[in-house]
Chains A and B, each alone.
Chain A
Amino acid sequence: MSDWPDVRLHVVTGKGGTGKSTVAAALALALAYGGRDVLLCEVEGRQGIARMFDVEPLPYEERRLATGLPGRRGRAGTVHALHVDPESALLEYLAMYYRLGRAGRLLDRFGVVDFATTLAPGVRDVLLTGKIYEAAKPGGRRGGGRAYDAVVLDAPPTGRIVQFLGVSSELAGLAKVGPIRSQSDAMMGLFRSEATAVHLTTVLEEMPVQETADGIAELREAGLPVGGVVVDQVRPRDLGDEHLAAAAAGTLDRELVAHDLRAAGLAEEADAGLVDVLLADGRDHAVRRRLEDEQRALVADLGRPAYELPRLAGGVDLGGLYELAGLLREQGMA
C-alpha cells in the first residue's frame, strides 16, 4: 500500500545534484503499474529525461516514454514524458488567450519572449507550472488531452521551489494581472491541496541534509504539502554494524581475513598485501558510514517518511532506474 494514495501531483525537489531527476524518473516508473498512466515532467530545459531514458531530445509535447514497473499481478502501466520550456509555454499562452498568431512571432523577434521569460521569473514560473497544472488538475483536461493517474515533476532545487510553486508574494507585481493572475489562483488551490506532495531528495552529507531541513520549514511556512524525504546514493552496507567499530579502529582480525582469502584461492594476493588493502578499504568505509549515520539521525528527526536508495556503483542506466523504482515501491513510496 502506498503512503500517498491521494496524491496525484508528486513534486520532487532537493539540493542540486542530490538526485532529483533520478528519483523523479524512478518514482514515475514505480507509480506506473496496473494500467496506470503517469506523466513525468521536466522544466529546467536540460533534457535530462531524454538522457536518462536514452531517447531523442523531447519536444514540447507529451511523448510515450516507457513501460512502468509491473505490479504484483504482473501488469504494468505507461510513463509519458513532457519537457516544458518557458519560451514555448509563453507563445502557447499568448496564442491561447490573445489569439496572437503572427504577433507571437513578432514578440519573439523583438526579444519580448526572452525578456518575459528571463527577466520576470514570476512570469516564467507561472507559465511552467501552468502547463503542469493542465496535466494534473482535478476533473481531467480541457480539449480532450490524455488524463493521467499521476504526474511527477522533476522540479527546481530547494532554494527556488517555494517561489516556483508561485507562493512568493514578492513577484514585484510582475504576474499580478490578467489571465496569468486568475490561473495562478486555481493552481495554488491544487498545489496546496492533499492531491499534491512535495518530496525532497538528499544525500547523507551535512549541507544537503541542512538544506532539506530548511526546505521543509519554508514549504510549511508557505502552506505547501511536504511529502517524503528520499535519501539517495546511500553507501552499501557491506560491513555489519558489529564490524564497523573494529574496522574504524583498525582492529579487525587480520588472521581471519588472510585465512578466508586463502580459502577462496587468493593466497598469492593475500601474501602480496591484499589483506592490508582490504583493511584500509574497511577503515575508510567505516569512517564514511559513521558520518552517514550522524546525518541519518538528523533525517529521522525531520519527522517525514524517509526512503533510502543505494548508490549504484556503476552509475544509473535504464536498468538501474527500474531497480530504484522497485526499491521505492517496496518502501511504500509508490
Chain B
Amino acid sequence: MSRGRPRVGPLARTGDGTGADALDVDALIGDPATRIVVCCGSGGVGKTTTSAALALRAAEQGRRVVVLTIDPARRLAQSMGIEELDNTPRPVVGIDDAAGGALDAMMLDMKRTFDEVVESQASGDKAAQILANPFYVALSSSFAGTQEYMAMEKLGQVHRAAEADGTYDLVVVDTPPSRSALDFLDAPERLSSFLDGRFIRLLLAPARGPARFMTAGVGLVTGAVTKLIGAQVLRDMQTFVAAFDTLFGGFRARAERTFALLQADGTAFLVVAAPEPDALREAAYFTERLAEDAMPLAGLVVNRCSAVPTGAEGPDGAVLSTDEATTAATRVAKRDPVSVTAGLLRLHADRARAVEREGRLVERFSAAHPDVPVVAVPALAGDVHDLDGLREVGRLLADG
C-alpha cells in the first residue's frame, strides 16, 4: 500500500480542491432568496437531525424559520417542544435570537392533513361522509405513500401562508422515513394516479349505469377483487369513490402546484446519506432523478462519518496509515500484549481504515456526480437530542 495518509477521507477531501466542491451551507441559508430547503435521503441517515440543525442555524443567523419534522426521536421532539402531534407550528424555546431570527417547529400528522384537504375541498355533509368511510380511513392512514404526499401538501400550505402573511421567510422540510429517497417524489403521483386511475373508474362503472363498460374482462376483474378483498370492502370503496369523484381534480391540481413549487428558484434540496454503499447508491439515484425533474439540488450531506477526533488531526508526519498503524501495534504488542500503546495504535488503524473506506465511497459518488457539492458531517459520540447537539451538527454542516 502507498503511504496514503488517513486524512484522505471524507472530511479532508471536501476541502482539498480536488473532485467535488465543498457545500457551503451558510451561503445557502444566508441567501434570502432561499425560501424552501428539503432534506431527503433513505431512512435513518439523519434527515430529521439535519433539517432541525439547519433550521436552528438559519434562525440563529437571523432568519424566520419553520421546520416541518416527521417522526423525530422522542427526546429531540421534547427538546424542541413538539411532542404533540397537532400539525401546528410552535415556537422553539431557547434559541439565540440576537440576530432577529425565530424558529417554529411542528410534527406532521398525516391523517389530519389528509382530513383537512378533504374538508377544504368538499362541503360539510359530503366531507363528513368521506371522512367516515372505512375505505378512506384505511387509505388515509396506510396507503404506501400517503405520508410523503401529505408532507408535500403541508409544505405547500405552510409556504403559501408564509408568503401571504410574511410569518416565515424560510421553510425547512424533513421527509418521511421511507425505504427509498425516491418515494418522496413518486408518492404524490402514485396516489393521485391511483385516485383517478383506471381501476377506480372501473369500480365506479356499475354505479354509473351504462352497462357498456361491463365487458367480460371487467366482470372477471371485479369478481376477482371481490373474492380477494371481500364484497363489503368493495362496496365501501365504491361509495368512497362516488363521494370523492368531484374532488379528484382538486387533488391533482394541488399535487401539481406543489410539484411546481419544488422546481421553483427559491427551493433547494439537500440529499442526506450515510457513508455506506446502499445509502450513497440511493443518493446517486436521487441526484439523477432531481436533475430529470428539474429540481434544484444544493448538495450532498454525508452524515455520521468516522470522525478524526479533535486533537487527532495532527501534522502530516504524525498520522499513520492503516497498514503502518497495524504493523506498529503488532510490534508493540509482541513486547507487551496488554500495552496501552498497542491498543491506541489499533484504534488509530481502525479509524484510519474506516476513514479511507468512507473516503473512497464518497469519491466514487463525486466521480459520477462532479457537480454536486458535498459536505461530510462526523458522527458525534452520542445521540443528538437537544439544541446544543443540533447547534453542534449545524456547525459541522457549515464547517465541513
Contact = CB atoms under 8 A, between A and B. Distances in A.
B382 interface: yes
A278 B344 contact: yes
Label chain A's interface by main secondary structure: helix
A147 to B, nearest CB: 30
A207 B227 contact: no
A111 B199 contact: yes
B309 A284 contact: yes
Nearest to A177: B230
Which interface residue of A51, A266, A277, A288 has the most chain B CB atoms within 10 A? A277
Nearest to B382: A291
B138 interface: yes
B346 A236 contact: yes
B347 A282 contact: yes
A238 interface: yes
B308 to A, nearest CB: 9
Interface string A227-240: 00000000010111
B359 interface: no
Interface string B57-80: 000000000000000011100000
Interface string B300-317: 000000010111111101
Given A280-B310, A283-B311, 18 more contacts: A17-B45, A103-B224, A110-B202, A111-B197, A119-B139, A121-B142, A123-B229, A172-B137, A173-B230, A173-B232, A176-B230, A177-B230, A178-B230, A243-B343, A256-B340, A265-B328, A273-B315, A284-B307
Given A206-B382, A269-B318, A110 B229 contact: no
B341 interface: yes
Contact of B274 (A17, A264, A276): A17
Interface in B136-157: 137-139, 142-145
A323 interface: no
A39 to B, nearest CB: 23
A94 B224 CA distance: 8
B240 to A, nearest CB: 12
B381 interface: yes
B340 A243 contact: yes
Given A121-B144, A287-B381, A281 B347 contact: yes
Contacts of B194: 111, 114-115, 118-119
18 contacts: A17-B43, A51-B278, A112-B224, A118-B194, A119-B144, A174-B229, A174-B230, A206-B383, A210-B74, A238-B344, A243-B340, A253-B340, A256-B341, A273-B315, A273-B318, A276-B312, A276-B318, A291-B381
Given A16-B177, A123-B228, A239-B343, A103 B233 contact: no
B142 A277 contact: no
B199 A110 contact: yes
Contacts of A264: 328, 331-332, 341
B353 interface: yes
Interface string A93-125: 010001010010011001110111011110100
Interface string A23-59: 0000000000000000000001010100100000000
Which interface residue of A98, A100, A315 has the most chain B CB atoms within 10 A? A315
A107 B354 CA distance: 49
B224 A107 contact: yes
Given A17-B43, A121-B144, A100 B199 contact: no
Please give me the 3 A-B residue pairs with the lowest Cβ-Cβ distance, nearest first.
Answer: A280-B311, A273-B318, A284-B309
B220 interface: yes
B395 interface: no
A257 interface: yes
A279 interface: yes
A222 to B, nearest CB: 18
A98 B224 CA distance: 8
Nearest to B317: A272
A183 B145 CA distance: 28
A313 interface: yes
A285 B312 CA distance: 12
B338 interface: yes
Which interface residue of A46, A172, A240, A314 has the most chain B CB atoms within 10 A? A172
Contact of B311 (A257, A279, A314): A279
Nearest to A115: B199
A1 interface: no
Interface string A172-209: 11111110100000000000000000000000011100
A15 interface: yes
Contact of A279 (B230, B320, B344): B344
B89 interface: no
Contacts of B224: 94, 98, 100, 103, 107, 112
Interface in A222-269: 236, 238-240, 243, 252-253, 256-257, 260-261, 263-266, 268-269
A128 B220 CA distance: 24
A203 to B, nearest CB: 11
Nearest to A103: B220
B112 interface: no
A118 B341 contact: no
Interface string B257-298: 000000000000000001011100000000000000000000
A65 interface: no
Contacts of B351: 281, 313
A288 B343 contact: no
Nearest to A120: B229
B339 A238 contact: no
Given A110-B199, A269-B317, A313 B229 contact: no
